[in-house]
A and B are shown apart, each in its own frame.
Chain A
C-alpha cells in the first residue's frame, strides 16, 4: 500500500497552505507504515475543517455532528472492538461543543485515538475565538481581543485520565508520524493534539510562531505529575512529543461479554430466557 491507496478521488477543499495538509500526510503515511486495512480502520469526525478529511481519506468513516465524534466512536468500538477507530476532531468540536465527552472518554480509557486538529480558531465559520485561542485573540466574536485564557488540551487529557497524551506539530510531519504510530498502537485512550495553523484566520499561532517556539521532548513520562509539568509551555517554549504513556486496562478489555468475540459477531439470541423471566412468575 502507498499513500495514494488511502486517498479518494475527491480533491481536498482545505485552503492552500492549511495546517491540515501536514496532519493528513502524517496520518496516511502512518496507515501505510502500519499496513492498516482501509475497511477495518474507521475515521470518526465531527464538524469543522477537520471533518472534510473523511471525504479525502479512503478508509471507513463516520462524519457526525458538531462535538459528538467521541461518543459515536465509543459506540463503534463497543459494537466491534476489532476495528481501529480514530476520532478526528477540532479544538471547537472537541473542547467547546464536545468537552464533556472528551473528559469522560479519557476517564474511561476507551481504546481510541483522539486526534485534535488544533488551529485555535473556529475557521469553518470564519474564525471566531475557540477554547484554545490565546488571550487577546482578535476575531469577529472577539473584536476587542479575547478576554479568556486558552485551554490546554493535553493538560485536560492528563487531568481526565487519558493513558496516552501527546502533542505534535503539522509542520513536522515525520515527528507527528512517530507520535501517531505510537498512539494507534497504544491500547487505551490516546490523545494526539496537533498544532496546525489556520493560515486564513489565525494571525497569532502561525507556522513561524510555532517553529520558533516548539521544543521536542525526549521520552514520555510514566507518572502523571512529570507529564503535567512537561506539557506546560515554559519560558515561551511549547513542548511537543509524547508526554505520558501508561499501561492500564482499556474500558473494552474489562467487558467479559466481548472477551471471545465482538458484539457484532455474536448471535442475536444468545440469551437465557428462563433466567431473564424467572422473577416475573
Chain B
C-alpha cells in the first residue's frame, strides 16, 4: 500500500461519521485520486463506536490497509481503539474542548476547536465540516473542491446550510493553516478522467436498472438495504416499481409473479432472508421463471454479528432449495463487477428461464470505491426464446389446443416463453406438469420435463468466460479466492512473486480452465472469509483438486493485505 494516504474518522454512532467520511472521499475523488472506503458499525441506531476508513492514492486502490495517516477522533475512545493503527508521522485531529488525548510517540496531535468554530459558522452540527476543512489544509487539498462537494451533498437542504458548511470548512482550513504545518501533499488537485465513486449496492441497483429491471420487491436487511434505498428513491427516473413486501417470502413470490407476467424482477436479501426464500427458488426452478436474487452475506449463524462481513454462505447459496433444477451463481468481487455481473444475471435468468443468485457480502455491498464510468450501453439485453407473435391457438393441434405450450419439449431444453394476455392462455405450475402446464405425474412426462429443465444449462459452462489469473503467469505461489477477498489479494500480490486465480462464475463451475491453471501452479493457497474453506470444498467437488494451504478468517472483518503478504511469505 505504498504511495497511499490512509484516512479515518471515528466517534459515536449518530455523529455523522458516515456522511463526513463520504464527503472526504468525494473530495479526494474530485481532486483526481483513486479511493476506497468502508464503514464499521455495530447494529445500533445511536451510540456504539463507528469508524469510517478511506485509502486514497494516485494509483488504483483495491482495499484499505489496517493503518492510518490522519485520524479525526471525535472522542477519546477513537484514539484508544485505533492508536496501534497510527503510522509513524501520523496525525490526529481532535477538539481540545471535548477531551485531551494522551500523547503517543511519533504521532502529531492537532487540537482544533471544532465545536466553537462550527458555532461561529452557524451550527454545532457543522463540527465535522470544520475538521474536513482542517484536513484539506493538512493534506495539501484544494478548499474550492471541498466546497463544491459540500454544495452537492447538501443540495437538497436550505441555502443557509450550504453557506454554513462552506464557512465551517473555511474556518477549519484557516485555523489549521495558522497553527500547523501540512502533513504532506496527498490531495493536491490532479487532472484525471472522471470516475464514479460508488458502493457495491448502488452498482447492483444501477446494473439492474441498466438491464431493464421493472419490479424490485425487497425486504430490508443488512447489508443489502441500500439497494432498495436507491431503487425506492429513483423509482420514477428508473421507470420501475419498488415494492416493500411484508417479508422475504412475499418478496420473492411477488418477483416470481411479476416475471411470469412478463417483466424482469429482482429480490435482494442476506442469509436469513435467503433461508425464507429458498422454497420459492425451487418454485422458480420448476415453473422456469427467470429471477435474479442478490444475496449479501454477513457473519452468522442466525443473527450472528449482523453488520460485519463473511463468506460463510457459499455452499448454502450454491445448493439451497429442494429438488433438482438448473442453478446459476455469480459472485462479483467489486463494485464494477457488481454492475456488469448483475446485468448479466438478468440475461442468464431469461435465457435459461431459471433463478440466478448473485452472491456478494457486506464488504462489497457497503464499501465504496472509484471506478471507471459505468455505461448502460455496454449492457446487452438478451431475453431468450420468446413466444412467436404468429402463435395462434389453432396452430397447436394437441388436445389442449387453446393453451399456450409453455413447456414444449425442445432439443436444448428451452421452451418459448409467453406471457398471459388477451387470447393467450398461459398456465404454469409448481406440480410436475406437461407441456401445457397441467399437472401430470406419468413416468414419461416426469422424465421428459425434468430432463428438459436440466438440459437447459448443459452448454453453459463452455460459454462462461475463463477465470482471471492476475499477476505473473509463473509464480512461486498461486492464490485462489472469490468475492470480496479480491481487493486485499490484488493489493497483496503487487510486490510478491505470487499470482491470483480469481473465480466469479461459481455455478456452473469453469472446471476445465481451473484445473488447467492449477496444474501449472507451483504452490497453491486458498483465501476465504470463512471457517471451512467453502470454495476449496466446491473446487474439489468440481475438479478433484485439493488446496492444502489455507488462510481463513471468520472474525467478521475483511482481510488486510498485510495478513495475506505475511502468509505468502511463510509459504514461499
- B-binding residues in A (CB < 8 A): 8-10, 37-40, 42, 44, 47, 52, 54-55, 58-65, 68, 70-80, 83, 100-101, 103-104, 255-258, 263-264, 266-273, 275-277, 279-281
Contact = CB atoms under 8 A, between A and B. Distances in A.
Interface string B265-283: 1000000000000011001
A100 B247 contact: yes
Interface of B: 30, 152, 194-198, 202, 206, 209, 211-212, 214-215, 217, 234-241, 243, 245-247, 249-251, 253-265, 279-280, 283, 287, 374, 376, 381, 399-400, 402-403, 419-431, 437-439
Nearest to A270: B239
B215 A78 contact: yes
B257 A61 contact: no
Residue of A70, A101, A276 most packed against chain B (CB within 10 A) = A276
Contacts of B430: 47, 63-65
A238 B241 CA distance: 42
Contact of A269 (B217, B376, B429): B376
B249 A68 contact: yes
Contacts of B264: 268
B376 A79 contact: no
B212 A72 contact: no
Contacts of B265: 75, 79
B257 A39 contact: no
A52 B257 CA distance: 19
A83 B198 contact: no
A185 B259 CA distance: 25
B283 A273 contact: no
23 contacts: A39-B423, A54-B429, A55-B439, A62-B257, A62-B287, A63-B429, A64-B283, A65-B279, A74-B254, A75-B215, A75-B260, A78-B241, A79-B257, A80-B421, A101-B249, A257-B235, A263-B258, A268-B211, A268-B214, A271-B209, A271-B376, A276-B206, A276-B237
B239 A266 contact: yes
Contacts of B283: 64-65, 68
B392 to A, nearest CB: 12
A51 to B, nearest CB: 8
Contact of B428 (A62, A256, A279): A62
A281 B256 contact: no
A118 B212 CA distance: 41
Contact of B257 (A37, A71, A103, A270): A71
Contacts of B427: 54, 60-62
A8 B403 contact: yes
A60 B257 contact: no
B491 to A, nearest CB: 23
Given A58-B402, A79-B257, A71 B262 contact: no
B424 A76 contact: no
A269 B212 contact: yes
A58 B425 contact: yes
Contacts of A78: 215, 241, 243, 254, 257-258
B261 A264 contact: yes
A10 B250 CA distance: 31
B262 A72 contact: no
A59 B425 contact: yes
A245 B420 CA distance: 29
A74 B258 CA distance: 8
A270 B241 CA distance: 13
Interface centre among A42, A72, A80 (most CB of B within 10 A): A72
